[in-house]
Structure 1
Amino acid sequence: MTLPPLTLSLQFARFDGVAEHRAALPRHAVARWLRHALERPGELTVRIVDADEGRTLNRDYRHKDYATNVLTFDYAHEPVVVADLVLCAPVVAREAAEQGKPLRAHYAHLLVHGALHAQGWDHETSEADAEAMEAREIAILARLGFPNPYADRVT
């Protein structure tokens, strides 16, 4: 399986506890996870932020006044996927703990999720689109050695 090329900028804001998040996100692993999620070459910036920055971005761009786990700002889908993925470290850590998942596994899932959004996948348009996107995430994560992130979800 040939994976598409990726130009990656991995950025960490300054916040308490950033070392734990840096440890969960070695550059080579982030690049591997994203390349598996990309269908074509990509130029992605991944930024790990604190709750204040995450909330500000979500409020200013989505008009939702809370910090969310991942925001995708997609600028181009073809011929190269160009996007910024912003992950809110405190939210990701809280969700991982609540779901009983390793922080690294939850980050892998959210990066794959964000990369799919960057390519035009959307889970908010219809139930069918949500199911298709989840199935794609599950397949990609399985190839990467991660369990189904939705396995424990109550339906």
Structure 2
Amino acid sequence: MPEIVQLLASPSHRYVGRPADGPLPAPPGELVDEIRIRAGLGVVGDRYFGKEAHRQASVTVIARESLPPGAGLVEVRRNIMVAGLAVDDLVGAVLTLDSGDGPVRLLVRRAAHPCAWMDVMVGPGTWKALRGKGGVRCEPLDDGVLRVGPVAVTVRR
């Protein structure tokens, strides 16, 4: 059964400027056990919540299988890490996740391309290795809550 492995709601950008200069400090409490999603707005408490320019891409999802061992959401800056689900193949689909509090539908709009920061934060070669496997950017269609743990998944194309 697929599972939600990690959840991130970060109020600030960490990757500003050149990767060689290093990231800004991580705010406390970024990794959480649950996130609240609002339709058309994103993840409550996240840096992209309610931002007009990001409404169609306010929730990001990545597959654990795409990442090297030890890498997590703090490094790749996605909101949801899942295991057992090939998210990169879902562009154009409606992905429904239900971790026990009711279904949350996400319209998978486009790929979430990795950036040069990955070579600094995860390790040399990660930027190139994640091309085509950097996750997806989604528009939330429902209000709801997602939690770490087993998740029921439905995909409608």
Structure-2-length-normalised TM-score: 0.25
Larger RCO of the pair (alpha carbons < 8 Å, separation 6+): 2
Q: Write 1 or 2 for the structure with the bigger share of strand.
A: 2
Structure-1-length-normalised TM-score: 0.25
